[in-house]
């Protein structure tokens, strides 16, 4: 697997210290991964994302993009932003233009692409997120789930190698969440590496193939989901719960499954109840 992004002893503090800080952090992210970032509020997830996206610059330490160190110059940070896209937690912060179509074109135009290419990318992003019928609507008149899809399309149109999503399921209804997971699968099939910050341990267990646990600005643990949720002292220390399927498995003393469907298949097979 090719390395996409590497943090080496990166630390960061906000002025005044009211917001979450990040203490020396070293982590390597590879192409094609599906990573969930877990942690309570103020654990440093958003700071991690803003650093990885080049909006913030590290106080100490270095970020490497595809093996190349990223300096503090505007040009180098731009390279980081081109390659690593960030979907903000609150879509209203991100949405800017008068219509959905214009909105999605903002990123590609900033990349300095010719108009034909911008149009192609906007069309593709509209299609991928099923937004074609909304193209002339004002983003301010859309529902929460639709706004979220527009926010993802914004970044998709920039064709990044990696997409960071900051709590994408917050404020979504159950149908919106289900749609979001389908969207994530589509993005992953397009070959985009996904990093999702979330509070939802059930989602992390079901979806991720690697989990990063943050607590008070530190990376506490980095590993496959099975290893993370086995570590009960870590979970209680970081204020995380066990996924529902884990608790079910513990209560019934059966193996843990990735999805409820797998569990019901097992039940039918063994007739445990």
How many residues of this chain interact with other proteins, rule: CB under 8 A? 42
Q: Measure the CA dihedral 256/259/261/263, to 10°.
A: 10
Stretch that binds other proteins, among 82-90, 170-178, 203-211, 247-255 (CB under 8 A): 82-90
Q: How far is the CB of 25 from other proteins (least distance, A)?
A: 19
21 interacts with other proteins by CB under 8 A: no
What is the enclosing helix (H) or strand (E) of 34? strand 34-38
Residue of the chain from 2, 17, 72, 93 that contacts other proteins (CB under 8 A)? 93
142 interacts with other proteins by CB under 8 A: no
3-state secondary structure of 161: coil
C-alpha separations of 84 from 49, 50, 170, 231 in Å: 10, 10, 22, 31
57 interacts with other proteins by CB under 8 A: no
Tokens encoding 146: 């639709």
Residue of the chain from 3, 59, 115, 227 that contacts other proteins (CB under 8 A)? 115
CA distance 247 to 10: 36
119 interacts with other proteins by CB under 8 A: yes
- Other Cβ atoms within 10 Å of 266 Cβ, number: 14
Q: Measure the CA dihedral 75/79/84/88, to 10°.
A: 30
Stretch that binds other proteins, among 23-31, 50-58, 189-197, 248-256 (CB under 8 A): 50-58
Footprint on this chain of other proteins (rule: CB under 8 A): 50, 53-55, 74, 78, 81-82, 85-86, 88, 90, 92-99, 101-103, 105-111, 115, 118-119, 122, 136-138, 140-141, 154-155, 158
């Amino acid at each position: 697997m090719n390395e996409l992004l590497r943090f080496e002893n990166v630390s960061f503090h906000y002025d005044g210290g009211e917001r979450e800080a990040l203490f020396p952090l070293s982590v390597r992210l590879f192409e094609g991964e599906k990573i969930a970032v877990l942690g309570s509020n103020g654990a440093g997830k958003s700071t991690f994302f803003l650093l990885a996206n080049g909006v913030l610059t590290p106080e100490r330490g270095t970020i490497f993009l595809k093996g190349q160190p990223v300096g503090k110059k505007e040009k180098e940070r731009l390279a980081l932003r081109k390659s690593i896209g960030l979907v903000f937690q609150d879509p209203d912060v991100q949405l800017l233009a008068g219509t959905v179509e214009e909105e999605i074109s903002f990123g590609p135009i900033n990349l300095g692409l010719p108009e034909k290419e911008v149009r192609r990318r906007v069309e593709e992003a509209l299609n991928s997120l099923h937004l074609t019928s909304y193209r002339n609507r004002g983003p301010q008149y859309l529902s929460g789930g639709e706004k979220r899809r527009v926010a993802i399309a914004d970044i998709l149109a920039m064709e990044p190698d990696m997409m960071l999503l900051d709590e994408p399921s917050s404020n979504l209804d159950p149908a919106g969440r289900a749609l979001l997971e389908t969207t994530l699968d589509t993005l992953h099939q397009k070959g985009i590496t996904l990093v999702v910050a979330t509070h939802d341990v059930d989602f992390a267990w079901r979806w991720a193939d690697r989990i990063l646990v943050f607590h008070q600005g530190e990376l506490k643990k980095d590993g496959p989901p099975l290893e993370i949720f086995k570590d009960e002292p870590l979970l209680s220390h970081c204020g995380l719960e066990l996924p529902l399927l884990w608790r079910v498995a513990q209560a019934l003393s059966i193996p843990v499954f990735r999805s409820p469907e797998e569990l019901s298949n097992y039940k039918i097979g063994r007739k445990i109840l």
